[in-house]
Structure 1
Amino acid sequence: MKFTSVMKAVLFVKMSERFPGKHRFLVRGKQLIDYELERIRISGCFNEVVVLSKDRYLTTKNARIINDTTQGTLIDSLLFALEEEAEFMAFAGDMPLVSPDFIKKMCQMYNGRPVVPQWNDGKIEPMMAIYNNTLIQDLKAYINSGKKSLREFILNSGFERIDIPQTREMEYCFLNVNYPEDLLEVEKII
């Protein structure tokens, strides 16, 4: 199966204990999440971008928001999304500097096997990866065994790996906003 533009992009928004409401914070007059949504759209890879959100106050005109009612961790939200969509590219909802070119490269690489970016030290980036429903049964078994590490699951699930270029742009691409100080860093770059 070759990549087509019928794939969806799904942004996962959880309630942050370290920085509550971070997705709604304004950077130069625009919500943090809207920067990410804009860059995802610029890639031209997706027919729809949706936000799976645990933040009931989040609003945006740039994507459809689905209320994430799952109990538990991110891996439970991922399973919920996989049961709704056959394939999608997942994004953490707090990465406003994602690279449209790298997104496009990942989508072009997709051939029916899930894809995850990998740094040269072997570290993977599970929240900017392509998932599909071939993972559902293994993911359910993994969750039912009491395990919750998405990284561990991916490392044992036959994902294709795409090397992340060692550039400043790519360091920014995977920058998560976890603290107010991170917003200041983003503001300098945007």
Structure 2
Amino acid sequence: MGSVEKALLEFEGKTILERLLESLFRVVDEVIISFRDKNQEEKFRPVLEKFPAHEIRFCFDTLEDAGPLEGIRAGLLESRGEYSFVCAGDMPFVDSRVVNLLFEKASGHDAAIPKWEDGKFEPLHAVYSKKMISEIERAFEKGKRSVLTPVFEMKDVVFVEVSEIRKIDPELRSFANINTIDEMKRIIGLSSKKENSQ
């Protein structure tokens, strides 16, 4: 969708970011948003100001063109907790119950990451311990940028089967994200379907 800030797209009266923050604050004490730069932060500030009672902190990428892996590293460095839930900013239906499940699964381990039946993973909807930081830095030293590179270097990762998550989130709406206009339309359809069934 070009240079559009997907997290700021609005439907049914709320931006994707607002929906995401409302869900996250049901289960976490603080939210850390990783920005590319100050210009991006300024674009997001009007939405963030709608949450004055909650702790929202910022961090910024220090490596250019390092992709989401640098955002994860910056966020984990900023986090006060040993474990952090990491997600993309274009996921409007993150379910706080699924987030809580991932925290429970990660406890005492290096990370908890959803795994699909076909063997694919959801590394941008996962809980990581601080151990991820050193693995990310090692990946950068090797010129690697894939989020899964440091994941597979950690020794104690819990892969949570999607079938277990489906018991909480039957349509797996939590993993829906927006990369195209068509996906945006599909997301709106998911929301309407959910509301009509209630």
Q: TM (normalized to structure 1)?
A: 0.79
Matches within 5 A, 1:165-176: 165=163, 167=166, 169-176=170-177
The letter for the 2-side match of 1:58 is: F
Structure number with the higher helix fraction is 2
- 1:18 matched to 2:6: no
Q: CA deviation at 1:36?
A: 1.5
Are residues 170 and 92 of structure 1, via their aligned partners in 2, closer, same or farther at CA, if it must alter by over 3 Å? farther
Q: Give the aligned partner of residue 85 of structure 2.
A: 89
Are residues 32 and 179 of structure 1, via their aligned partners in 2, closer, same or farther at CA, if it must alter by over 3 Å? same
Alpha-carbon distance in structure 2 between the residues aligned to 1:153 and 1:183 = 30
Alpha-carbon distance in structure 1 between the residues aligned to 2:149 and 2:28 = 28
Q: Deviations over 1:85-125 (max 9, x none)?
A: 24311011111112222112112222232111111221110
| Identical-residue share of aligned pairs (%) | 20
The letter for the 2-side match of 1:171 is: L
Higher relative contact order (CA 8 A, sep 6+): 1
Q: Give the aligned partner of residue 101 of structure 2.
A: 105
Q: Give the aligned partner of residue 73 of structure 2.
A: 79
Are residues 128 and 49 of structure 1, via their aligned partners in 2, closer, same or farther at CA, if it must alter by over 3 Å? same
Are residues 49 and 81 of structure 1, via their aligned partners in 2, closer, same or farther at CA, if it must alter by over 3 Å? closer
Decide whether the 8 Å contact of 1:19 with 1:178 is kept in 2: no
The letter for the 2-side match of 1:121 is: D
- 1:124 matched to 2:121: yes
Which ranges of 4 or more aligned residues in structure 1 deviate by more than 4 Å?
A: none
Q: Give the aligned partner of residue 5 of structure 1.
A: none
**Matching residue within 160, 163, 188 for 1:162:** 160
Alpha-carbon distance in structure 2 between the residues aligned to 1:116 and 1:131 = 8
Decide whether the 8 Å contact of 2:113 with 2:127 is kept in 1: yes
Q: Deviations over 1:22-79 (max 9, x none)?
A: 211110111111112222233xx21122322232311322362515243222112222
**Matching residue within 141, 145, 148 for 1:144:** 141
Q: Give the aligned partner of residue 66 of structure 1.
A: 58
Alpha-carbon distance in structure 2 between the residues aligned to 1:83 and 1:67 = 9
Alpha-carbon distance in structure 2 between the residues aligned to 1:130 and 1:170 = 21
Query: Aligned pairs, how many?
Result: 172
Q: Which runs of 5+ in 1 are unaligned?
A: 1-16
